[in-house]
A and B are shown apart, each in its own frame.
Chain A
Amino acid sequence: MAVLVWSERDGILGNSIHSGRRVALSAEEYRSEAEALDLQLDEALDMAWHALTLITRRENGKARFDTLEQAWVWGRAIHVLGVMRRRGMIGERKILLWQALTAKAWYGIRSDSTRDQRWRELIPSKSRKWLTQPTDIDAYRFLEIGYWVREDSLQQVGELFCWKFSNANDLFDRTSLHSVELRRAILHWIQHQDGKVRRFLGTPIHDGKRHALIAKALYKHFPAKGPGSALLPQHYPEDELRSIVWEVLDSARDAYFS
């Protein structure tokens, strides 16, 4: 029910236990669980880093990190290792895990206090904000998105978002469009578009992104709040959802190309 968050001050390592649960005196009472979880996070970070080194393209011997790939390896590793099902995470909000993971990756601290600076490559933003362990969930957007697409393969995620993290961000912004069923239906539609449309969707324009028309059109049909929000994509049978998505996206595409 708690996580261990590492920190460093003047070169000296320290850690503290964070928990969203009610505690009697301090969250230290959960230290043993948090330390066990910390050990498992080493495994998750190793797995994510190895996956990242395999998929990252290199140009002139230098790695070209991609935020979508970085996000995906995080989510996949957490999912595969079942980190959320660990005792330390039960009943906790995800932000605590994000704090623990980013602090470990940023400082490169293993549970035995040895250092592994390679993990920093997993963090897309090299901002010094990680020193302050942000409490705003938006700071961990790449982790949220990575965990959101955890059930999809990298190829699916890449095709769905035209290999752009910002496109994933657009869809993630709209909370009614979060379901895996909808992602599958959109992917199905994209896979049936010709090369011209797929190139069009993957091209950013100066005042926005063309891929965003998918999110915008679908959000009109599946608003997150207000009238019409009672039925969400996951509440439709697969065939019906697929036909709605095709209908909505076809008309959005045609409206643009006509």
Chain B
Amino acid sequence: MNFEYHVEGGDFTNAGSTSSQVKRMLKKIGVSPEIVKKTVVALYEAEVNIVAHAYRGDIFVDLEEDHVKIVLADEGPGIPDIDKAMQKGYSTASQKVREMGFGAGMGLPNIKNNSDSLNITSEVGKGTTIEFINYFQ
């Protein structure tokens, strides 16, 4: 099953609504609570990243019998150095975003810790695509 969601950059009010909807679906098909939690944590982080850094983005959810694949593709500044961004505590968030309690770093490492496989591609000035898969067993 495929689902598509749109995220607007800067719209913190609705940040997290996709992860909430995906969570509900995973519960309905009987995915174990631990894996629901993992997926919610990873997706929430990735979704908030779009809101905090990008202009807009789309989230594609591919729900299969044994796994869920989530692709978040944004139009935004891109990540110049992905390895650096993967380091704990590293953040490029603006002061304004930090004041709202976001952008304290940890975003990407947290996604990595809560996904079974993670792939990040990025082009400076164009955008970032994050793809991760979580298996149900």
**Are A and B co-members of a single complex?**
no
Taking Cβ atoms with an 8 Å cutoff, the residues of A that contact B are none
